[in-house]
Every structure is written in structure tokens, then in C-alpha cells.
Amino acid sequence: MAAPSSSSATPSPYTTLVGRVSCEREIKRSKFIAVAAPVPNERAAMAFLDQVKDPRATHNCWAYKLGEQFRYNDDGEPSSTAGKPIYSAIISSGIDMVMVVVIRYFGGIKLGTGGLVRAYGGVASECLKDAPTCLVKPKARVGMEVPFDLLGTVYHQLQHFQAEDIKQDYDTGKDGTVMVMFEMEYEKIENLGNAVNSACSRKIELYL
């Protein structure tokens, strides 16, 4: 199951895992192992699946959430009894940009569809419940054309707003002007622009 990816003009901060976490439960002789990790994109999610899945296991079911994009897979379990409950656990946790794999070793007792939903969803929820998380604030690459005489003023504002990876390009085609490029959290860009214009007493365009 999948949903199309969509992106907004200004990405919002999101909560994700600090690192890889795992959880193991035994339910009616079946062993369930949930493994979760932060992932930046679908390729990384699939690479994580390849890394942790066990070909000797009965099922390797999974789900990921990447902003508005998501996928889940039952890996041979009855439809919507494994991947979907794992995805529901991700939604309930409030964690984003994450992949959860639940590995099942069949113990000889069938759980039924309701039992499977509770088992897969439960072990995924338990895995994510107390996992260390962090708030990620998306960044953008920004540029601005700055007159030489205002470079000192602009750099003061860039330091104040914690700009990163600052670079200069003097080949702007305009005399007395340098292109200053840097990375900054999206939520700070508008305030930076206002502060620069106020400090320089003129309009300086920001390019995203």
C-alpha cells in the first residue's frame, strides 16, 4: 500500500528517532522482533529492510512513513494484519521519517487475524514508545547578493541567526557585489531577511 509523495513550500519540523531501536516479544510461541530506525528517504528504508530482515524467519513485515509518503507490506500474512498495524503504530507514536520492520518466527499456534493485528501493532508500538527521539528542523540553501560595503553587517546577522556552511562567490556579473550562500533552518529565514533589511537600511533579496 502506498500514498503519493507531496511536499510543501516550507517543510515543518518533525520528530524522528535518534537511532536504531528494537523490541522482542513472544506471543503464543511465535517470536516477534521489531526493529526501527530513522530514514531520510525510500531508498534508505529499503536498504534498512535488506539489512535487518531474516530469510529464515516466517515473515518480515514492515512499514515506513516519510512525511506524507508511506508504504507497508504484509509479507505473506493475511491482508492488512501486519503492515497496516505497524503503520498505525507509527502514526500513533507521532514519529516521522522512520522505518519499522517486524520479524516473526512462527511457533506453531495460529493467532487469527485479530491476534495478528494486535501482535504486529503491539510490538511495533512497544518498540517506538520509549525510543529516544529528536526534533529535526529542515534547512534550506539560501543565497543573497550583498554589496561589499554591507558584508560586515550581513555577516553579523548570519552569525546571530546561526547560518551554516557560509560561502562567497564574487563572480556575480555586478561590480561591487558578492553572492553569499549559506544553510539555515526554514523557520529562521524570514526573520533573517527582515533583520538584514533593517540593519542595511535597504532591500536585499534572499534566493531559495
Hey, is 184 helix, strand or coil? strand
Which pLDDT score, from 0 to 100, does residue 9 have? Answer: 56
CATH of the domain at 194: 3.30.70.240
pLDDT range class, residue 25, cuts 50, 70, 90: very high
Q: Are 34 and 60 in contact (CB under 8 A)?
A: no
Residue 3 has pLDDT above 60, yes or no: no
Residue 1 has pLDDT above 70, yes or no: no
CATH of the domain at 105: 3.30.230.30
Q: Classify residue 149 as left (phi > 0), alpha (psi -120 to 50) or beta.
A: alpha
User: How many structural domains are present in the chain?
Assistant: 2
Question: For 131-188, what is each residue's pLDDT tens digit?
Answer: 999 998 888 899 998 888 888 999 999 999 988 889 988 887 778 889 999 998 888 8
Question: What does the DSSP 8-state code read for residue 161?
Answer: T
Residue 89 has pLDDT above 90, yes or no: yes
Paired sense of beta strands 59-66 and 139-147, if any: unpaired
Q: Do 80 and 164 lie in a common domain?
A: no
Residue 58 lies in domain = 14-135
Which pLDDT score, from 0 to 100, does residue 73 have? Answer: 96
User: Domain for residue 179, yes or no?
Assistant: yes
